[in-house]
Amino acid sequence: MNGIKKILCPVEFTEEPNNRLIQWALKIAKTTGGELLLINVVAGYKEYSKIASYEHFLITINDIAKYNMADLLKSEQFNEISVTGKVVHGPVAQTILEVAKEEKVDLIVIGTHGRAGVEKFLFGSVAQKVVQHSEVPVLTLKP
């Protein structure tokens, strides 16, 4: 575990399961002396592109994500480690993998909750795609 210097932890601001995910990422960061990178991926929402206020919609979603990230980073739980947060845009799994490569992370900690049923069959699981294509180890956690 000593080789883990940078941990990537994708978070969502739609549900509460982030707490368990973040706690595990924090434990690993504290144990290894590593730094934690939290990201929130704002998907492209192409299905909304025909809406007249599409640009306003994306600006609003982006502003909310940035506000939520800033609020999360203020938490006292991060006082003992180096932590940064980013809001990024694009297809979720692909963007997580790109950030992992760009930031040279050593580990990805990701939740397995999300799509189910037909939606999962059609689009796949983000965690599954990350596990299959990641160049670094991936720790998956149920909420």
3-class secondary-structure state, position 57: helix
Q: What is the pTM of this model?
A: 0.84
How is residue 111 written in tokens?
Answer: 């939740």
The confidence score (pLDDT) of residue 52 equals 54
- The pLDDT assigned to 123 comes to 46
Task: Report in angstroms the alpha-carbon separations of 39 from 77, 86, 90.
Answer: 17, 5, 12
Percent of the chain with pLDDT over 70: 76
